[in-house]
Each structure stands twice: as structure tokens, then as C-alpha cells.
Structure 1
Amino acid sequence: MFILDLFFRLVAATIAGAFIGFTRERIQRPAGLRTHALISVGAAFLTELSVTVFAGNGGDPGRIAAQIVSGIGFLGAGTILKKGFSVKGLTTAATLWVTAAVGMGFGSGEYLLSSLVTLIILLVVIFFKPIDFLIGKKKWKLLIEAERRPYLLTDLLDILKGLEVEVTSIGIDTEGNETSLEIGIPYESLNILKKNLDKLSRIGGVKSVDVQ
């Protein structure tokens, strides 16, 4: 029965991690279903070892838990990508970290608590994004990566003006021969802009165009 309980802990951790990872997989993030499932079951297994083996031999079970937390922090940092004004991967890094915590919970036998935390994580990841937008992010950002050249911003603004897209803010970050532009646009202009992204991408020197 003891071995069976340990097995159920690993299975539950794997399933919980897979559910969390699926929320990242469906929007094509670098760490998806398999990564989160492996992190969760790995954290559960290490927690089981710390509780059943190391603690039984007079060791400190808290040492492995501390190493899991710090180790996942390094792994999560690898999913964060910053280029110019664009920062991606923060939510994925956070889900990796909290998935390890869920795995540790299942590994220590806390089925109910770990299941509740998994549900809360899914709630935050799936349903909080539109709420976050409604209460604090009513403006979109046009992110452009381009080669550094004269009149680049002028050409961009001329096209936006022709599309009747209002510009609420402009940010410029230059590094070497590359320029990153962050142009704020109101929510009402989003659909117009999305239909005409190809016009912006055809401007000389522009490498990528994205809306966030």
C-alpha cells in the first residue's frame, strides 16, 4: 500500500502538471505540456525521496525542497525573452515555478491542497488575462523590430496616419544597427491595424511587426 500511495502521488503530480502545461502549449509557448508535466513529477519524486529516504536516515528533508525552488527559478528564467521593449515568457516562467510547488505538494501526500492549488492556477492563467486587460490594459502596443535607418519612424507614422490609427505613445530603443519601436494604440484601432500589418512589414528595414 505504501508503494501504491507513492505511485499515485507521482501520477497525480504528472496530471496536474500536464493540465497547467496545456494552457501554455495551446498558445505555443516554449515550455508546454510535457515540460510542465516533467517538472511536476520530478518535484514530486524528489520530495518523496526527501521525506521517505533522507529524513528517515536523519537528514534534513527541507534541503531538497529549497533546491527544487531555486533550481526551477533558473529554468524559468530561460523562458523569458527580452528584445527591445518586448518581454515574453514571464507568465510561463511563473507557471513553471508554481508547477514545481504543486509537484512538491503531491509528493508530500497533500492531494486535496495540491488539487485546489492546481485549480487556482488554471483559473488565473485562463480567466485572468481578459480581466487584466479590461481593468488595466485598455491600450495595445505595436512592437516593431527594424534595421536602424533615417526616417524609419516617419514612414511608420505616415502609414498609421493614413489608416487613421491614433498613436498614444512612442518608445524607441536602439542597439547597434537595430531599432526597437513601441507604439501605443487605443483599443478601438486594433482591428484596423491587424488588417494592415502587412503594410508595416513592407517598410524598408522592418524585420518583424507584432501587436500586444
Structure 2
Amino acid sequence: MIEIIDLFLRLIAATVSGAFIGFTRERIQRPAGLRTHALISVGAAFITELSIFTFFNGVTGDPGRVAAQIVSGIGFLGAGTILKKGFSVKGLTTAATLWVTAAIGMGFGAGEYFSSALATSIVLLIVVGFKRVDRLVGKGNKQTITIEMYKGHAMEKLTKYLEKLGITPLHIEIETDEDSITFELVIKDEDYKAIKKNIVEFASIEGIISIDLGD
């Protein structure tokens, strides 16, 4: 009975840890959110439990054989969240959180409560706290937005609206394809906030296909 309770607690702990990590992606509308991370974590924990307690009887079998496939298998799922749009590659952080969430789930599945909880805390610190550090050290007070528009007078319309808001991009990159044109704008923090504040009006510009405000 005690063994069953312990196995149950491992699954619950894995689920909670995965949910915490997933929430950090859910709140910024990333494709893999709370439920996805929770499912990956509890799934990894359950497979690890099976690998240790079912496929190994203490004498024959390999307790790590099945669990080892999680490491490579989760890579395929993470790859599905990575997208290249225009000049930017999106989803790398989400793919990384999926991978580390599986590792944490494996830790709980193996009964390593302390190390798995510590890893969860470190991941949350990196995802939430390091984002501010990244802005201070890497980006400074700059933000990047990606705008996709239909071809035509796209540049003229975009420039006109940016002038209306008093925004002067620090850097602009343009990529075109058959039907659309993509702009990647590097702007100041205060200009980024102005666009977010007027996002509904901004999105109503004729010809806008999509706007990505980044992480």
C-alpha cells in the first residue's frame, strides 16, 4: 500500500511541476501551455515508473531502456513548436521547456523528489526571471515585432501609422514572397508599449495578415 501511494505521489508531483512550467508559456499565448507541459511531465514520470518497476524485476531487464527513449522522443514534439517566420525563429524557448519538463517528469518518476523540485525551481527562475536580465543585458530597452502584410502599398500604410504614433524604428528588415511582405521592426520599449496599447487599431490597418509581438 505504501508503495502504491509513493508511485501516486510521484505522478502528482510531476503533474504539478509540469503545470507550473507550462503556465509561464500559457500566459504569453505560446502553442504549448499548461496542459501540454503537465501531460508531458506526468507521461515521462509514468514511463519511468514502468521502466523501473515493470520492465526490471531486480535481476533481469534494463530499468533505463524504456525511459531512455523519452529523451529522443520529446525532441520530435519540441521541434513541432519551432517556427521560422520572416527573419525570426520562434518557439525555441517553448521547445526547451518541453524538453526539460520531460526530464523533470523522469526525475519524479524515479523518486528523486528533491532534485526534481530543485530543477523545477531553477527552470521557473530562468523562464521568468532571466527574461528581465536578457532585456537588460542583451536587448537593453529594445523590442522586436514582426508584421506580415499583403503586397501593395504595405510599406506606405505601415509607415503612415507608425508616424501617427510617433514611432521611429531603430532597425527594419524586409522579406518578401509571392503574395506578402514581412517587416521585422526593432523599436524602443516605450514604442513597443504604444503599439500594444493600440494593438486593435494597429491590427485593423488594411493589408495586415499577422502581428507577432514576440515573447
Structure with more of its chain in helix, by fraction = 1
Amino acid at match of 2:28: I
Tell me the SS of whatever aligns to 1:207. Answer: strand
Q: CA deviation at 1:182?
A: 0.6
Amino acid at match of 2:182: S
Q: CA deviation at 1:107?
A: 0.8
Distance 1:199 1:14 in 2: 40
Task: Single out whichever of 201-210 and 60-69 deviates more from structure 2.
Answer: 201-210
Amino acid at match of 1:180: T
Q: CA deviation at 1:153?
A: 2.0
Tell me the residue number matched to 1:143.
146
Query: Cα deviations across residues 100-123 of structure 1 (Å, max 9, x unaligned)?
Result: 101100111111111111111111
Tell me the residue number matched to 1:18.
19
Tell me the SS of whatever aligns to 1:142. Answer: strand
Q: CA deviation at 1:85?
A: 3.0
The change in CA–CA distance for 1:17 and 1:193 in structure 2 (over 3 A counts) is: closer
Where do residues 61-80 of structure 1 align in structure 2 (5 Å cutoff)?
A: 61-80=63-82
Amino acid at match of 2:144: K
Q: Does the 8 Å CA contact 1:168/1:184 hold for their aligned counterparts?
A: yes
Query: Cα deviations across residues 47-106 of structure 1 (Å, max 9, x unaligned)?
Result: 111112223262223322321011111111122233223433222211111111011001
Distance 1:199 1:62 in 2: 55
Tell me the SS of whatever aligns to 1:144. Answer: strand
Distance 1:4 1:198 in 2: 51
Query: Cα deviations across residues 100-158 of structure 1 (Å, max 9, x unaligned)?
Result: 10110011111111111111111112212122111111312232111122x43244234
The change in CA–CA distance for 1:22 and 1:201 in structure 2 (over 3 A counts) is: closer
The change in CA–CA distance for 1:9 and 1:193 in structure 2 (over 3 A counts) is: closer
Aligned length: 211
Tell me the SS of whatever aligns to 1:51. Answer: helix
Distance 2:134 2:183 in 1: 24
Which runs of 5 or more structure 1 residues have no equivalent in the other structure? Answer: none
Where do residues 92-131 of structure 1 align in structure 2 (5 Å cutoff)?
A: 92-131=94-133
Amino acid at match of 1:211: L
The change in CA–CA distance for 1:132 and 1:108 in structure 2 (over 3 A counts) is: same
Distance 2:103 2:167 in 1: 45
Q: Does the 8 Å CA contact 2:195/2:202 hold for their aligned counterparts?
A: no
Distance 2:185 2:47 in 1: 46
The change in CA–CA distance for 1:195 and 1:39 in structure 2 (over 3 A counts) is: closer
Task: Single out whichever of 107-116 and 177-186 deviates more from structure 2.
Answer: 177-186
Please report the RMSD computed on the Cα atoms of aligned residues, expressed in angstroms: 2.2
Q: Does the 8 Å CA contact 1:30/1:79 hold for their aligned counterparts?
A: yes
> Taking structure 2 as the reference length, what is the TM-score of the superposition?
0.86
Task: Single out whichever of 193-202 and 14-23 deviates more from structure 2.
Answer: 193-202
Tell me the residue number matched to 2:10.
9
> Taking structure 1 as the reference length, what is the TM-score of the superposition?
0.87
Q: CA deviation at 1:178?
A: 1.5
The change in CA–CA distance for 1:53 and 1:127 in structure 2 (over 3 A counts) is: same
Tell me the SS of whatever aligns to 2:71. Answer: helix
Tell me the SS of whatever aligns to 2:54. Answer: helix
Task: Single out whichever of 2-11 and 202-211 deviates more from structure 2.
Answer: 202-211
